[in-house]
């Protein structure tokens, strides 16, 4: 038996769920295939910084009830190094916009509930094994056996390791930054009022609030580092060194519920479409977490794609679909450029090399320019919350 629908979506992350919700609200049938269980999808702790345009997209489509009720506004970030700390009130610069902190797992939980309430169908625990972009058809396996699903169109929203991106012909532009982050979730209140970026010769450290009871920390590590090497005691000791707690005050500690190594890499597809398949989210482009752009790009792309699908299926106008890549790629590359700039700002040389002193001098100069230069501050603010 073949499952048939108007738009077949692979992946139940932010991109796939926003796309499915908007299409369902416009009377277009969708089916989402997701590899993991619903419980696992709703528990994945990822990005929590939503830009103002993302919030407006979600609000416009009736998908922002949870984040508007529980999200927290955030408009200040701080930078620390050996010379001290300075805070940048980016919410009062540029367009005067701020982030909304709302954990991605909470947003995904909201989106799944809303999607099902709008009559959408999700098949959890399904592994897509074969993709035919020209026919908008996939084959999949699940606990009860195997199956096939087909749509008028196919949306690949299954992430950077998914099968849809592999099925799209054409080159991909890649960059491995040679940096790893140990991503840590601590069951502890935030220790600072703002997102804090600490720059240290041992490596970068970051502090980002997720909820009143949970804080995200990052520690720069070698890309191939094993998490087993980082005990709770070692993590808190190294955070204290890099965050310079002797100078700025102690961290609020608590049990560490997650630790994993994230390799900073970037990837952009030359084209986001092929045949009757269109990519969105991490399937379309991978961006380092240094500037919190991943979920925001995914939701932007999903909104653009939803409008294009609506025009194609309701008005028989495929102009939006034919121009989907041309619409999204400039925004993706702008986000990549800002993320790459942030990587250079936050990270020094990973180890001894002939030009260590030179590169550290450049990093100090970048910080000085950001601290003292009004024009650079405005540019930072507009790129930090926007693109």
pLDDT by residue (tens digit) across 40-51?
999 987 778 999
The predicted structure's pLDDT at residue 9: 98
Report yes or no: 321 and 273 within 8 Å, Cβ to Cβ. yes
Tokens representing 363 are 């990093």
DSSP annotation of 315: S
Give the count of alpha carbons within 13 A of 120, CB side only. Answer: 31
Is residue 116 packed enough to be buried (19+ CB in 10 Å), middle (13-18) or exposed (0-12)? Answer: middle
Checking DSSP bridges between strand 145-156 and strand 277-279, what pairing results, if any?
parallel
**To the nearest whole percent, how much of the chain has pLDDT over 90?**
84
Tokens representing 284 are 């379309």
Task: Give the residue from 308, 282, 277 showing the smallest Cα distance to 297.
Answer: 282
Domains of the chain by residue range: 2-74+102-174+267-340, 176-264+351-385
Q: 180-230: per-residue pLDDT in tens?
A: 999 999 999 999 988 999 999 899 999 998 878 889 999 999 988 999 999
CA–CA separation, 371 vs 367, rounded Å?
6
CA–CA separation, 328 vs 159, rounded Å?
17
CATH topology of domain 2-74+102-174+267-340: FAD/NAD(P)-binding domain (3.50.50)
User: 3-class DSSP state for residue 170?
Assistant: coil
Tokens representing 60 are 């416009």
pLDDT (average), residues 274-279 = 97
pTM: predicted TM-score of the whole model, two decimal places: 0.94
CATH assignment of 176-264+351-385? 3.30.9.10
Is residue 170 packed enough to be buried (19+ CB in 10 Å), middle (13-18) or exposed (0-12)? Answer: exposed
The predicted structure's pLDDT at residue 1: 62
CA–CA separation, 327 vs 309, rounded Å?
14
The predicted structure's pLDDT at residue 123: 97
The predicted structure's pLDDT at residue 128: 96
Residue 159: pLDDT over 80 = yes
Phi, psi of 63 (to 5 degrees): -120, 20
């Amino acid at each position: 038996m073949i499952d048939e629908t108007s738009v077949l979506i692979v992946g139940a992350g932010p991109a796939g769920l926003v796309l499915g919700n908007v299409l369902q609200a416009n009377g277009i049938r969708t089916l989402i295939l997701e590899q993991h269980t619903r419980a696992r999808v709703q528990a994945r702790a990822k990005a929590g910084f939503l830009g103002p345009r993302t919030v407006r997209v979600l609000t416009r489509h009736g998908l922002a009830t949870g984040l508007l009720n529980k999200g927290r506004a955030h408009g200040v970030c701080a930078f620390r190094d050996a010379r001290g700390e300075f805070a940048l009130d980016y919410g009062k610069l540029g367009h005067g916009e701020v982030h909304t902190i709302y954990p991605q797992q909470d947003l995904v939980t909201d989106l799944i509930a809303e999607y099902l309430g709008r009559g959408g169908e999700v098949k959890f625990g399904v592994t897509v094994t074969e993709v035919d972009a020209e026919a908008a058809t996939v084959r999949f396996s699940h606990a009860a056996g195997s199956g096939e699903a087909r749509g008028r169109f196919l949306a690949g929203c299954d992430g950077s390791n998914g099968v849809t991106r592999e099925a799209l012909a054409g080159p991909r532009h890649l960059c491995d930054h040679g940096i790893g982050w140990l991503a840590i979730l601590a069951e502890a209140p935030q220790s600072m009022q703002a997102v804090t970026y600490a720059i240290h010769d041992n490596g970068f450290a970051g502090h980002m609030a997720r909820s009143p009871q949970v804080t995200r920390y990052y520690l720069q590590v070698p890309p191939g580092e094993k998490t087993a090497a980082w005990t709770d005691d070692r993590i808190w000791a190294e955070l204290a060194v890099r965050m310079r707690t002797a100078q700025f005050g102690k961290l609020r500690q608590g049990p560490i519920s997650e630790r994993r190594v994230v390799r900073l890499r970037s990837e952009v597809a030359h084209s986001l479409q092929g045949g009757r398949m269109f990519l969105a989210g991490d399937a379309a482009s991978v961006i380092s977490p240094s500037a919190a752009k991943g979920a925001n790009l995914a939701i932007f792309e999903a909104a653009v794609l939803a409008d294009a699908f609506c025009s194609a299926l309701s008005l028989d106008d495929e102009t939006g679909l034919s121009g989907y890549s041309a619409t999204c790629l400039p925004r993706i590359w702008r986000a990549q450029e800002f993320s790459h700039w942030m990587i250079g700002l936050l990270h020094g040389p990973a180890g001894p090399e002939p030009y260590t002193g030179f590169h550290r001098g450049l990093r100090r100069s970048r910080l000085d320019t950001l601290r003292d230069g009004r024009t650079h501050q405005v540019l930072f603010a507009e790129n930090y919350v926007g693109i």
